[in-house]
Amino acid sequence: MDTENALLNALIGAIATAVLSFTGVSPLLGGALAGYLNEDDGLRVGAISGAIASIPVVGLLLLVLVLLPFLGLFGFLLEVGIAAGGVVVFGAIVVIGGVAYTVVLSALGGLIGVYAKEEL
């Protein structure tokens, strides 16, 4: 398999994931497109597509976690009793869960895309 084509196909799948983000299953669709274009090893190219598509989401969530202490809501949360460490841990769980959701669905979509290319 040509690595350049696999990365290009993964990038195309990641762009499709972003464009189709209004659907609930955009990682699945983007991964399927990447797998369909790649024609083999759909699991790998789909997972790469999901990882690329996760970069903006992770960046945005990390930015929110950095800016959260400077907002008035953070002081309110501390007064209520939620510690700053708990907010950070919760944020980390959300980020890791979002990335896992995107990568796993994209990898599954890559398998579906390869299957569709072979069978149709």
Does position 12 have pLDDT exceeding 90, yes or no?
A: yes
- The per-residue b/e assignment along 5-17, b for 16 or more CB within 10 angstroms, e otherwise, is ebeebbebbbbbb
The amino acid at residue 2 is: D
What's residue 120's pLDDT? Answer: 83
Domain ranges of the chain: 3-119
- Residue 90: which region, alpha, beta or left (left: phi > 0; alpha: psi -120 to 50)? alpha
What's residue 106's pLDDT? Answer: 96
Which of 44, 20, 46 is CA-nearest to residue 32? 46
Q: What angle do CA 61, 95, 26 make, to 5 degrees?
A: 90
Does position 19 have pLDDT exceeding 70, yes or no?
A: yes
User: Where do runs of H (alpha helix) occur along the chain?
Assistant: 3-19, 26-38, 42-67, 72-80, 84-119
pLDDT tens, 47-87? 999 999 999 878 887 787 777 666 655 555 555 555 666 76
Range 2-26 average pLDDT: 89
Query: What is the pTM (predicted TM-score) of this model?
Result: 0.80
> How far is Cα 3 from Cα 25, in angstroms, rounded to an integer?
26
pLDDT tens, 21-49? 899 899 999 999 999 999 888 999 999 99
pLDDT tens, 85-109? 676 777 788 888 989 999 999 999 9
